[in-house]
Amino acid sequence: MEASAKIRSHTYVVVLVFLATLAAFGYYANSVRNTVRNDTMLAFQQQIRVIDTATQSRLALYESILRGGAGLTATDKSMTQTDWQTYFASFNFTKEFPEVEGVGFDRYVPAAQLPAFLQEMQAQNPNFSIMPSGDRDTYVPNTYLAKYPATDQLTGYDGYTDPVRRVAMNKAASTGMPTMSGYVAMQGGISSSPSSFIIYLPVYNSGASLHTPAQRQAALYGFVSLAVDVNKFVTSLVQQNPNANFGLSWHDNQKPMDGNAVYRTGNFTALSNQPGSIKQSIPFTLYQHNWEVTAVAGPNVVPASERDRPLNTIFWGLLASIVLAGVVWLLISSREFLLNRQKQLEVQSAKDDLLSLASHQLRTPATVVKQYVGMLLQGYGGELTQKQTGMLKHAYDSNERQLQIINQLLYVARLDAGRITLHKEKTDIRELLEQVFHEQMVESRQRHQKLFYRQPKKAVSAEVDPQYFHMAIDNLVSNAIKYTPEKGSITLSTQKTDEAVLVSIEDNGIGIDAERQKIIFDKFTRLENEMAADVSGSGIGLYLTDQIINLHGGYIEVESTPGKGSTFTVHLPFKTTKPTTDETA
């Protein structure tokens, strides 16, 4: 597969993994969001239930208070206002029921009975009069009154003149059930706040039959009434379970909703405006009157930690997706890398095998050629003419070069297979250089060059494998001769410093530019230059030399200027930094 196509397919896989992980987390985050939403709803409904329960239990208490009053009026018709107040004083309304404005008794008086009624009342209280005055068919004036706080305890107010109260009284009378009025905006009688509701409990003449509405209307004696301040009522309910994140708005359902709330908790508007708040309107009937409560829960009704869970899930999901995609990318890349590496090793091994095989096969016939040509030159095949001798010498030299290259190839094959073992011993480097100098003298003379050996005065010795080290220096001197034109000069020298033994081969030949100095030690590298065509070479001499010096724990330094010459310096540090390979042949 082409490299770019491979990268593309890897990218697809990684993107797919990323998207799949993200989708899984997204799905999970959505279910978390639903759970949180359900939790919010549950918390909200829980709040509503709490308020509902509190309302019901409060109203049950009111009903028993009303029934107490009803019992009192039914049993004692000669009761006075003071008796009434004394009876209700025991309930301690101001402390126990601060929302209760008062409890009263309103007598049902058809117009025909009015004179008798007035006479009865004025006998108890000469100042008694009905308010408002005027001729009506029916009067329902208040006769007993206990107000809290105990101001303006004036009886005589006819609540039947207020349409809101009248509706409740009529319903109570005909059903016989406690009945709640809508909120009364009109003050008078027991109601003293601008928004109250009154609960009426009808009282009938004892012994009368009460099966039908008509029978109940005919037997009506009056109503025990209890007025409640809506504000205080709702506040007392909410206060039983104070929650800053929960608000209420209380409406009389008989009236339009346009801002006509009887009561609103202080946080209602702010909570309604908060994004993420939940609102629900619940119509309900209390003592035959329809109300509507709108409840609002702010987003903080569930704790922030819970609320942030979907977002946190998304965040961690994104992070996990990136990490997972990264890991997949790394796995794919490292697998790719390992496969490439394996391939390289296989190719290298095949090359090495081929190299080794080829050089072994070439060496034997080339050696046989050398032997026979040598024998001919030595006269074993009979006397030779001068021309024949000259031709055979050429053949001998070519064969010699061929064998040199084959030998180098063999070394490279062994080296790459890790089958070169150094046998190091303390070696006199001064003497070793002298040998090389004498061996290369013939070659340099043939090229009309001057070969110098700047022999040190003191002996220089180092721990080297004499055979391989000789081969390395020989290669460097041979190169210096090859790449230095006729009449040039080559100088060998050696010295011992504090850290290393140095061997230098300096020539004033063609030189190598800085860029190409970097590649001359690579295997099979021959540079294009004016002498390359004239001199034989395989491009492996420097590779082999460098490897041998490395095996000795040393390195080769090159200083060269094109057209001026080169100096190759072998450094053999005393403290070896690179361990020598110690393997078997």
Contact footprint for ligand ADP (CB under 6 A): 479-480, 483, 507, 509-512, 520, 525-527, 529, 537-543, 566
Integer CA distances (angstroms), 258 to 183, 251, 262, in order = 15, 10, 11
CA distance 216 to 542: 129
Nearer to ligand ADP, 122 or 561 (CB): 561
Nearer to ligand ADP, 465 or 507 (CB): 507
User: In the bound complex, what is the minimum distance in angstroms from residue 565's beta carbon to ligand ADP?
Assistant: 7
DSSP annotation string for 87-116: HHHTT-HHHH-TTEEEEEEEE-EEGGGHHH
User: In the bound complex, what is the minimum distance in angstroms from residue 490's beta carbon to ligand ADP?
Assistant: 9
With 0-12 CB in 10 A as exposed, 13-18 as middle and 19+ as buried, what is 57?
exposed
Nearer to ligand ADP, 294 or 547 (CB): 547
Q: How many CB atoms lie within 10 A of CB 110?
A: 12
User: In the bound complex, what is the minimum distance in angstroms from residue 338's beta carbon to ligand ADP?
Assistant: 32
Helix axes 230-240, 3-75, angle to 10 degrees: 130
Nearer to ligand ADP, 332 or 531 (CB): 531
User: In the bound complex, what is the minimum distance in angstroms from residue 544's beta carbon to ligand ADP?
Assistant: 8
Give the residues across from 567 on adjacent strands: 506, 559
Residue nearest to ligand ADP (CB): 537
User: In the bound complex, what is the minimum distance in angstroms from residue 537's beta carbon to ligand ADP?
Assistant: 2
With 0-12 CB in 10 A as exposed, 13-18 as middle and 19+ as buried, what is 214?
exposed
Nearer to ligand ADP, 183 or 543 (CB): 543
Rg of the chain's alpha carbons, rounded to an integer? 60
CA distance 112 to 136: 10
User: In the bound complex, what is the minimum distance in angstroms from residue 24's beta carbon to ligand ADP?
Assistant: 60
User: In the bound complex, what is the minimum distance in angstroms from residue 528's beta carbon to ligand ADP?
Assistant: 8
CB proximity list for 211: less than 8 A, separation 6 or greater: none
Nearer to ligand ADP, 178 or 511 (CB): 511
Nearer to ligand ADP, 219 or 476 (CB): 476
Nearer to ligand ADP, 232 or 571 (CB): 571
**What is the tally of helices (H) and strands (E) in the chain?**
15, 18
Nearer to ligand ADP, 135 or 528 (CB): 528
- Dihedral angle sign, alpha carbons of residues 507, 509, 514, 520: negative
CA distance 412 to 110: 135
Nearer to ligand ADP, 93 or 483 (CB): 483
With 0-12 CB in 10 A as exposed, 13-18 as middle and 19+ as buried, what is 338?
exposed
Cis ω for the linkage preceding 303 (within 30 of 0): no
Nearest to 447 by CA among 395, 500, 407, 484: 484
Residue with tokens 């000069």: 489
Q: How many CB atoms lie within 10 A of CB 509?
A: 24
User: In the bound complex, what is the minimum distance in angstroms from residue 493's beta carbon to ligand ADP?
Assistant: 15
User: In the bound complex, what is the minimum distance in angstroms from residue 517's beta carbon to ligand ADP?
Assistant: 9
Nearer to ligand ADP, 411 or 543 (CB): 543
Cβ(275)–Cβ(16) below 8 Å: no
User: In the bound complex, what is the minimum distance in angstroms from residue 494's beta carbon to ligand ADP?
Assistant: 18
Nearer to ligand ADP, 274 or 538 (CB): 538
Nearer to ligand ADP, 195 or 484 (CB): 484
User: In the bound complex, what is the minimum distance in angstroms from residue 523's beta carbon to ligand ADP?
Assistant: 8
Cis ω for the linkage preceding 202 (within 30 of 0): no
User: In the bound complex, what is the minimum distance in angstroms from residue 556's beta carbon to ligand ADP?
Assistant: 11
User: In the bound complex, what is the minimum distance in angstroms from residue 491's beta carbon to ligand ADP?
Assistant: 12
Nearer to ligand ADP, 271 or 520 (CB): 520
User: In the bound complex, what is the minimum distance in angstroms from residue 514's beta carbon to ligand ADP?
Assistant: 13
Nearest to 480 by CA among 403, 556, 550, 378: 556
Give one word for 565, left, alpha or beta, with left for phi > 0 and alpha for psi -120 to 50. left
- Continuous H helices in 502-563: 514-517, 541-551
**β-strand pairing of 425-428 with 142-147:** unpaired
Q: What values do phi and psi take at 277, rounded to 5?
A: -80, 160
User: In the bound complex, what is the minimum distance in angstroms from residue 483's beta carbon to ligand ADP?
Assistant: 3
Nearer to ligand ADP, 224 or 510 (CB): 510
CA distance 319 to 172: 68
Cβ(142)–Cβ(171) below 8 Å: no
Integer CA distances (angstroms), 459 to 183, 438, 474, 476, 506, in order = 125, 18, 20, 22, 21
CA distance 250 to 265: 9
